[in-house]
Amino acid sequence: IVDSNFNPETDTIFFDWISADAVDITENTQGITISLPANNQSLTLSEIGLSDLKLSNINALDTSTQNKLANLITSETTSSGDMSNDHYHDDHNQNDDGYVAGTMTSITLTSSDQIITSFEVATDMVHIEGGITADLLQIFQESGDALGLTTRIVILDSVGNTVSTTIIKDVGLSDLTLANFSIAEQSAQNEIATAIGQTITGAPTNVDGYDIIYDSNDGIPSVTTGTTPEGGAKYRGDINADDVFDFNISRDQIDVGETSVHNLIITKTANGEIAIDSPWTNAMQIFQGVKIADLTMDNFATVGNEHLRQDLGGVMSWELGVGPRDSNTVYVRSHEYGVHEVIDSFDPSAMKISFLYFGTRERLTVEDTDAGLKIWSMPSGQSITFTDITKSDLIPGLIEFHHDQIIEDNLETPFGISASDLTLVDRTVLLTPEAPLGSTTDGFQTHLGNLTGANENTDVPINISSSTLNDDSDGSDAPTSLTGFNTVNFTNSQSDSASLTWEWANKTAITGFNTETDFFDFGNMSADTVNVEEADGNLYFEVLGMGGNITALVGVQAEDLSSENLTAAEWNDVLDADSILIESLVSLGYDFG
């Protein structure tokens, strides 16, 4: 497709849930060509160059694609002399009700130079991504005639050469706090905290987190921000303010405004009271006498920060009993002071560790100890210890997060496991506080992690092995579909074709597949975009990077298929003997013959 009418001043390019590794963007004599090689599709924007584009022209649902385009556009505008950087909205907010959406600028080991010309200290953030450790990072302040006051973040390679420089205009180190950063590596976090003069209070020597201090006069009175529909008060959540004493559950609300999850979280004191807590220090504001389990979502005003909506909702869901409580899953929490659990019978090949209810994005520690594998977090110090287990025993696909925890905030880093190998689960089943008008909240995305080493004979979660075939022991009934899958029933009266699609998170179960007459069409799919597995007597094909897009042949095994059952586009080598897909099928019993 060639678009000769694209106007960078008004038009937008929309990318559905397509990951960055599936998209190629090139600039040529015709213009900009955006292609999906695995699907043999392309779009050319005629007579348009990368330097003509702004991030306002891009609407990409997948964060990796958004980042890829951001780096390309920023790199081109930098080299063309226009050093401005239109960085993207981290909170996905496009609201007009008084809330200002923060923007996130990502810095990776391969980022290009960029200048941020309009950094809002109150809302904006810099994401220092995984792999950038303290020895590869420099942050300092400069002031000169050309750009004025700036903060500069320099990324180095392993021998000390400069890879990229990010310049934040009109902002000095003293203007910044840790709330302006999302940092994957602990050493980089310490480096930045030192540079901006902010203290990360060290973990206490006891095992109960920071001491909880009840106070009534810190010199910063608690304040109200308005009235509720019930005629009550909206109390501002402020980690530095005095405790609140007269909160009325029947009509009052807690108002955290637009505060970032990197600056404020929700915790529970040992007495069960709700606290507005700092992720970094022992500063907290306790709503004295107010049990967190007695609250409802009506007790929270609109929450402007998307990640805080997710984490606040996760904490409240745990406290109110909303959401899954699977018997083969250990749910890691972070909000409970004085809670330390020991699991003596954890089977890492068959049981799951889930962070669905985890309530912070900072200071997660995963470490091997003499007592076993310990997962704990500050400021609460809450911990779970798995006896006789080490970090190396864990199966990546049996560790669950929701999307933004690892795709945007790198909570996977302490595990030393790639985010793509972990499992993403749906958090839309949890409570979520009200968002500003026009804002959205991630968490619907799902992804099948790497289950290598998992015990296939147990109730392993995720879409494949938890979706078991209903009983049909005598074989007289038609095959029954899978829970959570859309069903397509093939008949024996004609030749039917199954195929893969690029639809995000699509799950299709094919029943009645006849190996004598039916076939599976891979179309334009390349071998490296498809994963194949067997479980529970079924054969599963997953389109990688598409949110758990899985097509299942119910009651069919790889050994049942022949080359007559598989087809693809004429030019496609997906079915060649040396393709990854065919090698995987052969390992499962397929006879290439």
* 465 pLDDT more than 80: no
* 18 pLDDT more than 80: no
Reference 451, options 357, 562, 336, 542; nearest CA is: 542
DSSP result, 471-535? P-TTS-SPPP--TTSEEEE--TTS--EEE----TT-EEEEES--TTT-EEE-TT--GGGEEEEEE
Task: Quote the CA–CA distance of 265 and 280 in Å, as a whole number.
Answer: 10
pLDDT, residue 102, reads 62
Here the tokens at position 543 are 């389109």
pLDDT, residue 372, reads 94
pLDDT, residue 362, reads 86
pLDDT, residue 401, reads 96
Adjacent-strand bridge partners of 93: none
* 95 pLDDT more than 90: no
Reference 235, options 185, 189, 290; nearest CA is: 290
| Tens-place pLDDT, residues 339-366 | 999 998 899 998 999 999 999 988 899 9
**Residue 494 · residue 505 · CB < 8 Å:** no
* 477 pLDDT more than 70: no
Reduced to 3 states (helix: H, G, I; strand: E, B; else coil), residue 294 is helix
Mean pLDDT, residues 433-459 taken together: 78
**Residue 374 · residue 385 · CB < 8 Å:** yes
Share of the chain above pLDDT 90, in %: 36
More confident residue, 203 or 37: 37
| Length in residues, the chain | 593
* 135 pLDDT more than 80: yes
The b/e string for 107-123 (b: 16+ C-beta within 10 A; e otherwise) is: bbeebbbbbbeebeeeb
**Residue 487 · residue 533 · CB < 8 Å:** no
More confident residue, 472 or 307: 307
| Tens-place pLDDT, residues 372-413 | 999 999 999 999 999 999 999 999 999 999 998 988 888 998
Reduced to 3 states (helix: H, G, I; strand: E, B; else coil), residue 400 is strand
* 81 pLDDT more than 70: no
Q: Which of 57-66, 165-174, 460-469 has the lowest mean pLDDT?
A: 460-469
Adjacent-strand bridge partners of 325: none
| Tens-place pLDDT, residues 278-293 | 888 888 999 999 999 9
Mean pLDDT, residues 506-523 taken together: 88
The b/e string for 358-380 (b: 16+ C-beta within 10 A; e otherwise) is: bbbbbbbebeeeeebbbbbbbbb
| Tens-place pLDDT, residues 217-237 | 666 788 899 999 999 999 999
In Å, how far are 67, 224, 239 from 257, measured between CA atoms? Answer: 27, 12, 13
| Tens-place pLDDT, residues 297-346 | 999 999 998 999 999 999 999 999 999 988 889 999 999 998 999 998 89
Pairing state between β 103-107 and 114-116: unpaired
Reference 397, options 329, 452, 446, 464; nearest CA is: 452
Q: What are phi and psi of 276, to 5 degrees?
A: -90, 115
pLDDT, residue 264, reads 92
- Averaged pLDDT score across all residues of the chain: 82
pTM of the model: 0.56
Task: Quote the CA–CA distance of 436 and 304 in Å, as a whole number.
Answer: 6
Identify the band that residue 480 occupies on the pLDDT scale cut at 50, 70 and 90: low
CA angle, 190 as apex, 185 and 195 as ends, to 5°? 125
Q: What are phi and psi of 168, to 5 degrees?
A: -105, 110
pLDDT, residue 89, reads 41
Mean pLDDT, residues 471-494 taken together: 59
Spans of all domains in the chain: 1-80, 83-200, 224-320, 329-424, 468-587
Give the Cβ contact number of residue 465 at 10 Å: 24
pLDDT, residue 86, reads 33
pLDDT, residue 246, reads 92
pLDDT, residue 62, reads 60
pLDDT, residue 74, reads 52
Reference 207, options 336, 335, 338; nearest CA is: 338
pLDDT, residue 200, reads 67
Q: What are phi and psi of 281, to 5 degrees?
A: -135, -175
| Tens-place pLDDT, residues 526-573 | 888 889 999 888 999 998 866 678 899 999 999 999 999 999 877 788
Give the Cβ contact number of residue 557 at 10 Å: 15
Share of the chain above pLDDT 70, in %: 82
Cα 154 to chain centroid distance, Å, stands at 26
Task: Quote the CA–CA distance of 72 and 521 in Å, as a whole number.
Answer: 35
pLDDT, residue 377, reads 93
Identify the band that residue 481 occupies on the pLDDT scale cut at 50, 70 and 90: low
Identify the band that residue 72 occupies on the pLDDT scale cut at 50, 70 and 90: confident
The b/e string for 130-155 (b: 16+ C-beta within 10 A; e otherwise) is: bebeeebbebebeeeeeeeebbbbbb
pLDDT, residue 470, reads 30
Tokens 């299942």 label which residue?
552
| Tens-place pLDDT, residues 239-284 | 888 999 999 999 999 999 888 888 899 999 999 999 999 888 888 9
pLDDT, residue 506, reads 76
